[in-house]
Structure 1
Amino acid sequence: MRVIASCFGSRDLSSGINYLDCRPQIMLNYCRLYLIPAALRRVGQRYVSEQGFKYGFTPPQALKNKKPRAQTSENDRPFIDYKEVQVTAGRGGDGCLSFLRLPQNEWAGPDGGDGGNGGHVVFEANRNFKSLGHVKTLIYGKDGANGRNNNRHGKNAGHFIVNVPVGTMVRNEQMEILGNLKKAGSYFLAARGGAGGKGNRFFLTNEERAPSCAETGAEGEQRRLSLELQALAHVGLIGFPNAGKSTLLRAISRARPRVAAYPFTTLNPHIGMIDYDDYIQVAVADIPGLIEGAHLNKGLGYSFLRHIERCTCLLYVVDLSGHKCWTQLTALKAELEHYQPGLSKRPHAIVANKIDIPWAQKNLEELKGHVDIPIFALSAKNKQNISPLVDHVRTLYDDNVRNHDSEDSDNDDDDDDGGGGGYGGRRTYL
């Protein structure tokens, strides 16, 4: 140890004058800088640490660990159901201007190849995506490769595939519907790639034996489009905030939306599946709570109401804990009618929730006096009287949805809103 200390310029360790008491960190730095064998370095560091404690010095302290990253649940992620995008297809490659040169003939004719075609931009429906949050605002296709000499044509660019959720509608700047991706695997050709330019070999004729011109590649198509996501469900739960829609969805399916004792807990539509013993699945959508004036886009009116458009059947969820429960039903139907005439007249049923509250039975009798259709009184929280509602949902599905779905599947080949024939070629996925 004395030899090591002497290497750092310190004096006799037994004397009162030495530099170990004031330079322990310097010795550690020298141990790191100079190429001392690893074993000797560890011994030197331990000796310096002991000397530091002996003379009142503390070794360097480790910094505190960084704050752990917050764990966000899936419900906390932003749900995007509308996005405006600008798509630009790939540019075609330029044709080549070149002449073949041979040892005996420097002007053996043109040999410029054609440029490759630019790639298309395609929207394709995928069940693995539930939101439009991953879709970029600016989408660019790949450019085709330029032509080269010796009659080498440029490579065609692969198509750029943008995955979107099932149920996405594509609109133009005039808000006209261009595509409706309502089935997994359906696609919409958003922008066509530019054609590749011709090389000078293409312009060879009997009159023009040495063409000195070549085409440049065409620019890809550029468009501004709007993507609008509408939830695809057979049955929609309609009600005011804090009526118990999310709790009801948890009771009849395996979906797990957030539930809390305050209004506007649900901000995104959640879809749960009811499984029956004959392998039939019915999709039920928990639509965020509406407020009066939603048809005027108060609150998030339009963004909530658009998800109801594709629900074939409706379940009006009424809160029995309040007074004059029939006014809730009247207000809900009025909002749907103002948003889209005839929307409230779709096949529906009334669910009277929170029957476990003491005064709920009195409110239920008042509600029955104002409506002439069956009412399913239940407690979603306690899972009380759930089975009759589940059976009635199956009846609504068989009477109104099942035949409609079979007709749509027969007409999918003749009337496909997603696009025309196959687009082929190589694919680049987003």
Structure 2
Amino acid sequence: MLFTGRSFLGRVLLDISQNVGQKGFIVNYCKAATALRPTKAKSTRKEAQYFSDAKRVRAIGGKGGDGCVSFLQLWCNERAGPDGGDGGHGGHVVFQASNDVRNFNHVDSVLRAEEGERGSAKDCHGKNAKHSLIKVPIGTVIRNSQGQIVGDLAHANLMFVAARGGAGGKGNRFFTTDKETSPKVCEYGPTGEDLSYTLELRSMADVGLIGYPNAGKSTLLNALTRAKPKVAPYAFTTLRPHLGTVLYDDHVQLTIADLPGLVPDAHLNKGLGIQFLKHAERCTLLLFVLDASAAKPWKHYEQLMHELRQFGGSLASRPQLVVANKLDKDEGEANFEELQRRLQNPVLGISAKMGKNLGNLLDSIRRSYDRHKTDI
């Protein structure tokens, strides 16, 4: 296995220096998984925030090709018989779960499949149309016009046929019998299905950031990944989810989502974050970001857990990590020890602004992900 980046080399040398003098010491390279620092600087280009997590679409299957009425005429036999071919089948509209896309920005409102080709003379059948394959993110839930869930693309390469194409019409050769040797009829190709669906994105990241407004979630995502969320010293800076990717030296990539902050009574539709909690339902790991400089930050954790329980489902029972941010402030240092004492879960102290202890955070995220990734 090949490893790149100075971070891995530094970690191996540190392990060797700590174990100098031990007889029979062997370095296990396979257990090392260090996050790689990006070598390319972030772009300074300001892009508009646009993230589509729900889309209403109309799927129209392709029309089947018409059959053909034709009679073969040869120089030696002007009445050789019917030779009209069948029409080709229309294409289907198919949704496929893929890792290549993250939202529904590329999905059109009207999805129309190709039509089948018409039949022709000399028993030539029309060509079947290709299916219209639309890639959607993993975790897409498909609802019909009545609001019922008819598809759940929870794994890669799963497919859902949204609209079937029409079958090809039969040519007059098909209707030939012993009594009717010269039929002059054929079938028209029927139209495809025309259905409406609502696409909802339930899973968009491996790690979801949960916390109060202005707790430092955007700053943390900016420090860990190449994402460029808006960072400002006021609440509700994040209005839409932001995604970032962490690359480890064993070629594993983890996606982190910065969700809008939660407020008390968010389950009663107060604030912004409750409408995005559906994205965290299938996250492998929930990362609670607490503002250690706030008064009684342990109360924030209790309120966040209350909102997750009120939201319903298995969200409150998801695997989680708790980090105390803003340890660069004097209030954060004073509250950190009390926060560790009051919470049952281990708490990791960091400073996203100053970059303090972010390496240990990335290692903890990777260990928790490897331990719970089969639970989803």
Q: Does the Cα contact within 8 Å between 1:92 and 1:220 map onto a contact in 2? A: yes
Could you state the TM-score of these two structures normalised by the residue count of structure 2?
A: 0.80
- The 3 A distance-change label for structure 1 pair 246 and 116 is same
What's the offset of the Cα at 1:341?
4.1
The Cα shift of 1:182 comes to 4.1
Residue 369 of structure 1, CA deviation = 4.5
Q: Describe the SS at the equivalent of 2:133.
A: strand
2:110 alignment partner, one of 91, 115, 138: 138
Note the C-alpha offset of 1:326: 2.0
Aligned counterpart, 1:236: 208
> Normalised by the size of structure 1, how large is the TM-score?
0.71
Q: Does 1:190 align with 2:162?
A: yes
3-state SS in 1 of match to 2:134 = strand
**1:131–1:72 CA distance, 2 compared to 1 (3 A):** farther
Counterpart AA for 2:290: V
The aligned residue for residue 197 of structure 2 is 225
Spell out, residue by residue over 1:204-245, the C-alpha distance to the aligned partner (whole angstroms, 9 max, x if none): 111111112211112212221111123343322101221111
Matches within 5 A, 1:290-305: 290-305=262-277
Which residue of structure 2 lines up, in the alignment, with residue 80 of structure 1?
52
> Are residues 1:251 and 2:223 paired?
yes
Q: What residue number does 1:90 align with?
A: 62
User: How big is each residue's C-alpha offset from its partner over 1:346-367, in whole Å with a ceiling of 9 and x where there is no partner?
Assistant: 2222211111122223333443
**Shift in Å at residue 184 of structure 1?**
4.5
Name 2:357's counterpart in structure 1. Answer: 385
The alignment's C-alpha RMSD in Å is 2.5
Conservation of the 8 A alpha-carbon contact between 1:118 and 1:193 = yes
Partner of 1:203: 175
1:353 and 2:309 aligned: no
Q: Return the offset for 1:272.
A: 3.1
- Equivalent positions of 1:20-419 (< 5 A) are 73-74=46-47, 76-103=48-75, 106-401=78-373, 403-404=374-375
Partner of 2:368, secondary structure, is: helix
Contact 2:49 2:240 in 1 (8 A): no
- The worse-fitting range, judged by mean Cα deviation, of 138-147 and 297-306 is 297-306
Distance 1:163 1:186 in 2: 10
1:105 Cα shift?
5.1
Task: Report 1:6-17 matches (<5 A).
Answer: none
Which amino acid in the other structure matches residue 290 of structure 1? L
**Mapped contact 1:192–1:220 kept (Cα < 8 A):** yes
* Cα distance in 1 for residues equivalent to 2:82 and 2:362: 76
Aligned equivalents of 2:54, 2:205: Cα separation in 1: 18
Deviations 1:85-129 (A, max 9, x none): 110100101111222334565543212111111011112334443
CA gap of 1:378–1:77, structure 2 versus 1, over 3 A, is closer
In 2, Cα distance between equivalents of 1:369 and 1:195: 68
Counterpart Cα distance in 1 of 2:325 and 2:338: 14
Rg comparison, structure with higher value: 1
Q: Is the 8 A contact 1:231 1:269 kept in 2?
A: no
Equivalent residue pairs, number: 333
CA distance in 2, matches of 1:119, 1:77: 35
Aligned-pair identity (%): 49
Match of 1:59 in 2: none
Mean CA deviation greater in 193-202 or 387-396? 387-396
Mapped partners of 2:58, 2:274: distance in 1: 23
Q: Which ranges of structure 2 fall in alignment gaps of 5 or more residues?
A: 1-43
Is the Cα–Cα contact under 8 Å of residues 295 and 301 in structure 1 kept in the other structure?
no
Tell me if structure 2 keeps the 8 A contact 1:238–1:314. yes
- Unpaired segments ≥5 residues, structure 1: 1-70, 406-430
